[in-house]
Structure 1
Amino acid sequence: MTADRDRDSAGRAQNQRPRDRFGRPLPYGSPGVPRVPDDAVFTPEEGLAEAQRLLDEGYAFHAHEVLEAVWKAAPEPERELWRGLAQVAVGLTHAQRGNVAGAVRLLRRGAERVAAYGARAPYRIDAPGVAAHGRAVADHIAADPETSVDPARLRLTLTRDVV
């Protein structure tokens, strides 16, 4: 175990360096954007609201961290849904960073996981809409790697009731 790595109380590696808006680590002491604490706990509703707020502000990496926190605490039947949502958000992060191959791969992988829940996904999650958005962004940036990506276009929840 190296002494120069950030670690939690159990000795697990952590990266406490500040991050830029795209989640890239900055040198220690640099001003960064506020981070989601490693030990953050969110209810599904809180996680969805916070992740959407972060996406709306262009912070896809930070939204991914919130969704990942919910995924880690989710009951087994919901875990793949939250994992897929987190993958779509991190796919958008890769797109923001210019990593087209990583973006396409994660957007598609996340879209498939989310799509499996269909229109009856819990917490008013718009699984078909999220999956369609992930696939469309993946197709678009694969065809034109210079495309800019706006995370605010992703809507995690339904804006109206589904009958």
Structure 2
Amino acid sequence: MFISKITLLLFSLLAFIAPALTYPVEGDTEADLWNSPEALAALAIINDPTPKFLMNITFMDEETHQNVTAQTSYICDTTSGSPSVHWVREVSGELRGKYRNSVCMQRNPFGSKCTTLHSLGDAAISLCGVLFRWYFCDAAGFAGFWISDHCAWNGLAGGRFIYDDIPESRVAVHKS
């Protein structure tokens, strides 16, 4: 009698679970959300490959120890594979807070010529360009916040913040 009750209970449970597992879910799939005409149009506007002028900044040149003024600009590179805005802002916040006056330096002479400065969650911020080029980490954090504010799309953000000194340096916001 006890075994038949357990068997009956298992069959009843299976009768309720099987239709739920095989029934198609209605509504938009995630792929439809990313590939909708509206989403793709918004992404095309955000990801205009023309650098957008931001401002002139002044900093000290490492070799001459004189103040130099450089233009800054940014390019959005947001895709469905970009990190979440939340984690970009977390990484940027730590660079501007915890590591504010630390030196963030490009130390990779090969390949991408980018050095990851900091990463949290699914986001990372890297400095790219000339070997041993450095900025205070506060500047890299500022760039991360700028990209998260101006390149956001569907909760994701990615892009490059460009310091147009000679030669140029880039702060890249990307997936870790």
Provide TM-score, normalisation by structure 1. Answer: 0.28
Larger radius of gyration: 2
Counting strand residues as a fraction of each chain, which structure ranks higher? 2
Higher RCO (Cα < 8 Å, 6 or more apart):
2
Counting helix residues as a fraction of each chain, which structure ranks higher? 1
Provide TM-score, normalisation by structure 2. Answer: 0.27
